Amino acid sequence: MNDLTLYNQVKDKMQTGDPIQWRSNSVLGYGIRKVTAKDRRQYEVDNDIDVNHTAGVIRLKEYEEGRRFISESLEKGPELHYLSERLESFDGQVWWYPLTISNEQRTKWGSLALGCTVKAIKYGYWDIFKYAMFGPGKIDIDDGLYCSEEWMWNMGYRGDSKSPNGLTTLKEFENVIPVRIL
């Protein structure tokens, strides 16, 4: 079980729509980072932020009892999880991006994220293959969504997709300093 001290120091500040970026120590994670390294944005605070997975925070204040939920697209498609449970067993590093977006954007993001988890949207395996072979494709919910596409879809993006590393080039990430939580 991992030490959640860093996470516990900031979890009360996390808000719906804030991205959580993951860097796993797995072979698959390494492969994703290798293919998407060109998409990375360099941060003064930590130039070693090179990620392979994205999730987004969902605050359900009536039900959270001190815990935070995340929506993330995994092998079966978008799912809802407790962030602390994912962090406890995760082998790697994790960053939280405290966005400065409107409450209206946060509400929309959360509504779309919850909708994705209950509509049986599949995972975007084909999109990942196309990304690896040809570069970024188009976000198409009917073809499934991989992790960063789900975050983008919920934020209202349509059109060109971004890798987890590429998300940080979007306008929502301007002037955002990532916070290491694991």
Complete DSSP assignment for 59-117: --TTT-TT--EEEEEETTEEEEEEHHHHHHH--EEEEE------HHHHHHHHHHHHHHH
Nearest to 177 by CA among 168, 140, 131, 152: 168
Distance of alpha carbon 59 from alpha carbon 114, whole angstroms: 11
Distance of alpha carbon 78 from alpha carbon 72, whole angstroms: 5
CA dihedral angle for residue 74, residue 76, residue 77, residue 83, rounded to 10 degrees: -40
Q: What b-and-e string marks burial along 42-52, b requiring 16 or more CB atoms within 10 Å of the CB?
A: eeeeeeebbbb
**Mean of the pLDDT values across residues 50-78?**
92
User: Residue 40: is its pLDDT beyond 80?
Assistant: no
- Per-residue confidence at 61, pLDDT binned at 50, 70, 90? confident
**Mean of the pLDDT values across residues 92-115?**
96
- Among all chains, which residue has been given the structure tokens 């596409």? 149
Indicate the helix (H) or strand (E) that contains 55.
strand 53-58
Distance of alpha carbon 165 from alpha carbon 50, whole angstroms: 6
User: Residue 130: is its pLDDT beyond 60?
Assistant: yes
* pTM of the predicted model as reported, rounded to 2 decimal places: 0.92
Nearest to 56 by CA among 149, 129, 136, 122: 149
pLDDT score, position 44? 47
User: Residue 39: is its pLDDT beyond 80?
Assistant: no
Q: Is the domain covering 5-180 a CATH 3.30.450.20 domain?
A: no
Give me 103's structure tokens: 């409450």
pLDDT score, position 127? 84
User: Residue 15: is its pLDDT beyond 90?
Assistant: yes
